[in-house]
Amino acid sequence: MDSIQREAADLAHKDVAVFSRRFGILVVFLALMPALIGFASAPPGSLYLGVQTNVDDHMVYAAWMRQAMEGRFLFENRFAVESQPGLTLNLYYLALGLMAKAVSIPVAWLMARAVFSFLFVVLLGRFLLRIGLDAFQTKLSIVLVTFGGGVGFFVWEKFGQVVVNSPELLKSITAGKLPIDVWQPEAFVFPSMLTNGLFMASLCLILVTLQAVIESKESWAPVLRGALAFGALMNIHSYDALLVVLVLLGFLVAQLASRDVTWAWLGRTAVIGLGAVPAAAWFVYVLGQDPVFQSRAATETFSPVFRQVALGLLQAVVLTGLGITAAKEKRMLAGISLALFTGVVAFFLWSSNPPVADYSMAGPFVAESVLPFLLVFASALGALALMARKERGINFVWAWALVGVAAVYFPALFQRKLAMGLVVPWGILAAVGLSSVLRRFETSTRNLVASLAIIVTSASSLFWFQREALFIRNNVASTAVHPVYYSRDTSRILAILSEVKGRKVVLAMPGVWNPVGPADFSTPLVPDLNPVLTGLAGATSFAGHWSETPDYIRKRNLALSFFLASTTDQQREEILRFVQPDYIVAPNPQTFGSTPTGNGPLSIADVRKVGRVVYDGNQFILISLRG
């Protein structure tokens, strides 16, 4: 009997392995299709970056890659003109930068997205089998995790986080705010595959770390693998390391409740945790030494209201509930009741965003959020203790699901970043819940219902795909101030600045968006070249990025005023003395000077006389202020 069971298990593993590889190839093709279309349809002489979503953030990554291409191991923040020690280390972008020397930055991004998207699907299949799911549950989980989303497609918008074009009834249900499956890619798998290779690399490291923890119950064999993965995770996306720690605390509570914990297992897990210590120690050191990094770390990235999170996961939660209805154990039902109560409490605790203000890490919002977070977190732990089973795999997934939702309200300014991969555990639970209901049906009916469920839950991912294509067609990125295609002038200026060695401070005009509806934008009136010049030419920008540039709003306004015709020559000279740029990239006033905007015509000054014109293009002019 044992040999028959082993043979059946081997066949199931092979079946899942084949499915994972084939499905991985399919989703990689779908995820890369918008970028491939973008490259293929780029106008002659234009520059396409391979990304349409969060272009400014990708330029931060590009700036690190550019420094790796220059031979640097430790990076500085070139979106800040302030003095800094240059101590940032990111192994992921160090490796991509070395790759980019051979294939270019956009192609390196594309390759990384492909590799880690495929790898995630394969690792997910192995993880699911390791936690005890059967072949059908595993396949269904892979699909629901990859494409799953909430109900955001009902109130879909191409830009922003506010519901604009939907009926009043839907606006009232969502409180006028978009669910996270519309705009927060890191919480979902396919949107991450479409937009950011770093997110996919982080998800792969999370899976490797968590599987190592589970497998270390039996031996030391997976400990080194887990420690290395956890250390790499702490280095390339440190917020995720905190999320893993919180999830493991929840898992520990569940295992203690089910009396399935040994000191040996705890010791091995602790050793895996030690893998993050070197990267964490370096992070703390850099934070203490680099004031620019301190300013970056203090950027407010608060989580959305709980309603946005709940609606963004609603379909997976409903499918999970189908399996719960079949539960007959009193402890399980009690745990689910407490989990529901936790959700209700969270709904009222986090029903509105924190007031906009200049908070520090000890600011009022963070301080006042400690007790609510502890209350919800403790309630989630209580639910896990009541729901605990002998099957440690299911305990683990429940810990990830419940603690993951609580984690996005961790009392810190970076709390929104803790939503990484939030759909993963809920997608698994949805597959388990749906499969438990479908077991009573014959195979054809089961497959039909499962297919319908997949189609419905994948709607938001389909809208993400469509939006990427629309960005390309309309030549406007998600930021609204960056185009998808950059002109021949931009390419020429980038080439000239790339040849300039050493530090080069550049002042460029911030972007001017082009609204064409209540929540829609077309190609920006004036593209914001600041982050592109930093990311692709290695320049130091005065006002380059909303988060990386300290005191960005003030610097942006100052940079904008330099190029306006209403600014006097004396005021312009004062700005130059303050910024001390080496180069200026100015819009050609003959091209942009008569552009109408919502605030009247765009009056841009001719600033050629402030320095030596290096390149005089139809759109942009490069001016050198070096002697």
Poorest-confidence range of 78-92, 157-171, 228-242, 419-433? 157-171
Angle (nearest 5°) at CA 94 between 92 and 100:
105
Angle (nearest 5°) at CA 216 between 212 and 219:
130
Mean pLDDT value across residues 32-55:
95
| pLDDT computed for residue 597 by the predictor | 63
| pLDDT computed for residue 173 by the predictor | 87
Tokens representing 203 are: 């998800």
| pLDDT computed for residue 610 by the predictor | 94
pLDDT band at 245 (very low <50, low <70, confident <90, very high): very high
pLDDT at 377 over 50: yes
pLDDT in tens, 378-410: 888 988 988 888 888 999 999 999 999 999 989
Three-state DSSP state, 281: helix
Return d(Cα 339, Cα 316) in angstroms, integer. 15
| pLDDT computed for residue 594 by the predictor | 65
Three-class HEC string of 524-575? EEECCCHHHHHHHHCCEECCCCCCCCCCHHHHHHHHHHHHECCCCHHHHHHH
Mean pLDDT value across residues 572-601:
85
pLDDT band at 362 (very low <50, low <70, confident <90, very high): very low
| pLDDT computed for residue 300 by the predictor | 78
| pLDDT computed for residue 367 by the predictor | 47
pLDDT at 82 over 50: yes
pLDDT at 296 over 90: no
| pLDDT computed for residue 356 by the predictor | 37
Phi, psi of 55 (to 5 degrees): -60, -40
Which helix or strand (DSSP H or E) is residue 521 part of? Answer: strand 520-526
pLDDT band at 10 (very low <50, low <70, confident <90, very high): low
| pLDDT computed for residue 106 by the predictor | 96
Return d(Cα 309, Cα 26) in angstroms, integer. 28
pLDDT in tens, 86-125: 999 999 999 999 999 999 999 999 999 999 999 999 999 9
Residue with tokens 């965003």: 353
Return d(Cα 616, Cα 107) in angstroms, integer. 29
Return d(Cα 154, Cα 148) in angstroms, integer. 15
- Which residues on neighbouring strands pair with residue 604, listed in sequence order? 564
pLDDT band at 304 (very low <50, low <70, confident <90, very high): confident
Instruction: Check if the beta carbon of residue 572 is closer than 8 Å to that of residue 529.
Output: no
Mean pLDDT value across residues 129-135:
92
Mean pLDDT value across residues 51-66:
97
pLDDT at 29 over 60: yes
pLDDT at 58 over 90: yes
The amino acid that residue 530 corresponds to is N
| pLDDT computed for residue 8 by the predictor | 56
For the chain, which residues make up each domain, given as ranges?
A: 2-41+104-468, 475-624
| pLDDT computed for residue 388 by the predictor | 86
Instruction: Check if the beta carbon of residue 371 is closer than 8 Å to that of residue 222.
Output: no
Instruction: Taking the CA atoms of 543, 547, 550 and 555 in sequence, report the sign of the dihedral they define.
Output: positive
pLDDT band at 592 (very low <50, low <70, confident <90, very high): confident
Three-state DSSP state, 522: strand
User: Of the ranges 6-10, 23-27, 134-138, 519-523, which is most confident?
Assistant: 23-27
Return d(Cα 552, Cα 557) in angstroms, integer. 9
Poorest-confidence range of 185-194, 335-344, 435-444, 535-544? 335-344
pTM of the model: 0.94
* pLDDT, greater one: 327 or 499: 499
DSSP-based helix, strand, coil % in the chain, nearest 5: 65, 10, 30
| pLDDT computed for residue 331 by the predictor | 58
Distance of CA 29 to the CA centre of its chain: 20
pLDDT in tens, 211-223: 999 999 999 999 9
| pLDDT computed for residue 13 by the predictor | 78
Mean pLDDT value across residues 242-250:
97
Share of the chain above pLDDT 90, in %: 74
* pLDDT, greater one: 34 or 601: 34
pLDDT in tens, 154-176: 999 999 999 998 888 888 888 89
Tokens representing 123 are: 């690792």
pLDDT in tens, 450-466: 999 999 999 999 999 99
Which pairs from 450-454 meet CB under 8 Å and 24+ separation? Answer: 450/140, 453/144, 453/319, 454/140, 454/143, 454/144, 454/147
DSSP alpha helix (H) spans, 325-442: 330-349, 364-368, 370-387, 392-407, 423-438
pLDDT band at 358 (very low <50, low <70, confident <90, very high): very low
Which helix or strand (DSSP H or E) is residue 6 part of? Answer: helix 2-40
| pLDDT computed for residue 539 by the predictor | 97
Angle (nearest 5°) at CA 344 between 338 and 348:
145
Mean pLDDT value across residues 569-581:
96
Mean pLDDT value across residues 543-566:
94
Helices 135-147 + 2-40 axis angle, to 10? 20
Return d(Cα 33, Cα 47) in angstroms, integer. 18
